[in-house]
Chain A
Amino acid sequence: MIVMKNLTKIFPSGIKAVNDISLHIAKGEAVGLIGANGAGKTTLIKLICGLYLPTSGYIRVFDENPFGRKTKASNIGMVTGQVITDGYNYHFGHGSSLLQDDLSLELNMELIKNIYRIPADLYKQRMKTLLPQFDLQEQLPYRVSQLSLGQRMKAEVAAVLLFQPDLLILDEPFIGIDVVAKETIRRILQETVSKRETTVILTTHNVEELEKICDRVVFIESGRLVYNGSFDRLKQSHIGLNCMRLQFQGTPPDLQDFPIERYRIDNHTLMLYYDNSVVSSKDISSYLLSHGKVSDILIQKPTVEEIIRELYKEGNHGNDN
């Protein structure tokens, strides 16, 4: 489906936006693409879409070189959720939006039908399913610029599903939208993924959604592929750790020689990450409770979000391994 070998993209400015990435994504897979802003996610997506010419390396999408591919782009559907706001208004200004601002939702859908050559009966049938799914029936006559951000995003996803691409790319689709819209989009994406017909690539900072939709996560850092595997493995291999959060009155005590993996102190809050098989929660907590004034204590398995946050931090320290 998608094969990359030693893919590199260097911009004329000298920035290595994508650095020697090798990756394989099978048909029907749902992959979460994560990384800090500027890590190279968007460049990687654009390489997959054939919007950029790679500097070196090999890339095939649907067994074709995406650059120079002309007729088969109906195989790729892309939804971009990046939105510019000016305080009280939003613009889907990035233009990579599927829908044209000045057209009504209905006309937009008709246009997509024509551009993607969807037969009339199939179009009717899909609209009949998609509109109620996304609860958009009443929005049809409105210009899409008049829709709320949540409705707009739902409409974007409905529009991309209208032509049923083989590869569906969602770039930050959850930014700034309300909980109900988020829930709707997530549910439908889960359904799409479960059919295993569409390959999905999702980039988001919203790791919760990522975990619910994707099977696999690809983590990029400064253009390099840092992690590629399942969520569970991410939890185990990178930080299969417990996280203890303690709120102190006054200064947290010294930790002595406890074999803690890492810790962080924020004012009066102490965060500890440790391997429970090396040192037990009981030992640490009893030590700290007797040596400091603890006002609150919380022990949990770190969420993927926290793990990734930790990973970002590692990266920021220039950890290049």
Chain B
Amino acid sequence: MKDIISLFFAYARTGLKTRFQYKLDSVISTFAVFFREAAGIIAMYLALLKFDTINNWNIDELLFLFSLIFITYGIFIVFFMALRDFSDWIKHGVFDRVMLRPRGLLTQLVLCGADWLAAFGHGTLGIILFIISANRVGIEWNFGMAVYYIVVVISGVLIQGAVFLFFSAISFYVVETNSLKEIFYWNMRKFAIYPLSIYNKFIQSILIFVVPFAFVNYFPAQFFLRKADMAAYPEWMMYISPIVGVGLYALAYAFWRFSLRYYKSAGN
């Protein structure tokens, strides 16, 4: 474990050193990520001034809902960036190099791809949204609440990691997975920005059962906010994000192992 942590820092050090060879470029791209995402939120904020609430969620509560998306994504791209772009690795044969190294495959994939600057952009935005909203949504923060918040953040990262681990494993069978990612991740992520309850049953089912973004932000947020629209779902769904996270990741991992074997026997 100590060994893995030192490798993590080695990757982080080299990655950051490289990025800061071009300081201005790095700073600008970090801000670019930040403002790109922030612009979307500001646009929505302005729209909400007209409506006041969406399905009874006021603007602060919505910001709290977004903050979970941004914070988890910020952490996600530190650890799962390489999985996000994994199909390129297969295409260009980078994966063969990785397989030849005396380290676990996933260890390397998880550690090596960190996009620190983008992570910083998304993460900062998430934290700002959290700070703005957390005090104004009437949560009585105590130790237990704080711990559960951290747990759901980790679960949210795992859920998204698992989704990309699935995509990565699919890259062993089909070369092009970008459109899959577009449909099942990026579009679903756009849906997940708003409360689950505003959508029709079909999209709700996808967000709960297929690409379970609902467990990244909606249900965890409900745990803290207890909005009335939660009545449409079983109450226990507020508590199972950690199980979904760990379970989905385990499932994705099993599929990954299976696919890896296929890759080695079929060749690329």
Contact = CB atoms under 8 A, between A and B. Distances in A.
A78 B100 contact: yes
A115 B103 contact: yes
A196 B92 CA distance: 34
Contact of B18 (A75, A95, A102, A113): A102
A167 to B, nearest CB: 11
A67 B264 contact: yes
Contact of A52 (B10, B11, B104, B264): B264
Interface in A84-135: 93-98, 102-104, 107-108, 110-111, 113-117
Contact of B6 (A46, A76, A97, A114): A114
Interface size class of B (residues with CB under 8 A): 20 to 34
A96 B14 contact: no
B94 A53 contact: no
Nearest to B91: A95
A49 B100 CA distance: 7
A249 interface: no
Given A76-B100, A96-B93, A115-B102, A107 B6 contact: no
Contacts of B95: 95
A50 B263 CA distance: 12
A103 B101 contact: no
A11 B262 CA distance: 11
Contacts of B255: none
A107 B17 contact: yes
B7 interface: yes
B92 A107 contact: no
A318 interface: no
Contacts of A67: 264
A12 interface: yes
A167 B232 CA distance: 62
B18 A107 contact: yes
Nearest to B89: A95
B179 interface: no
A235 to B, nearest CB: 35
A111 B11 contact: yes
A184 B121 CA distance: 46
Contacts, number: 84
Contacts of A46: 96, 267
Interface in B93-113: 93-97, 99-104, 108
B261 interface: yes
Contacts of A11: 266-267
Contacts of B267: 11-12, 43, 46, 52
B264 A96 contact: no
B265 interface: yes
Contacts of B17: 104, 107
Interface string B98-141: 01111110001000000000000000000000000000000000
Contacts of A70: 104
A214 B103 CA distance: 30
B198 to A, nearest CB: 42
Nearest to A43: B267
B93 A95 contact: yes
Interface residues of A, number: 38
Interface string A6-47: 000001100000000000000000000000000000010010
Given A94-B92, A107-B18, A53 B100 contact: no
A110 B14 contact: yes
B94 to A, nearest CB: 4
Contact of B96 (A51, A75, A108): A51
Contacts of A108: 14
A305 B86 CA distance: 41
Given A94-B92, A102-B18, A52 B265 contact: yes
Interface in B1-57: 3, 6-7, 10-11, 13-14, 17-18, 21
A73 B265 contact: no
A321 interface: no
A95 B94 contact: yes
Interface centre among A53, A95, A111 (most CB of B within 10 A): A95
A276 interface: no
B97 A115 contact: no
A98 B97 contact: yes
A116 B103 CA distance: 8
Given A51-B96, A107-B18, A73 B101 contact: yes
A72 B14 contact: no
A74 interface: yes
A104 B14 CA distance: 9
B9 to A, nearest CB: 9
Nearest to A163: B102
A319 interface: no
Given A73-B99, A73-B102, 8 more contacts: A94-B93, A102-B18, A103-B14, A104-B17, A113-B10, A115-B10, A115-B103, A115-B108
12 contacts: A50-B264, A51-B264, A52-B265, A73-B101, A76-B100, A95-B89, A95-B95, A96-B94, A103-B14, A107-B14, A114-B11, A115-B103
Interface of A: 11-12, 43, 46, 49-53, 55, 67, 70-76, 78, 93-98, 102-104, 107-108, 110-111, 113-117, 143
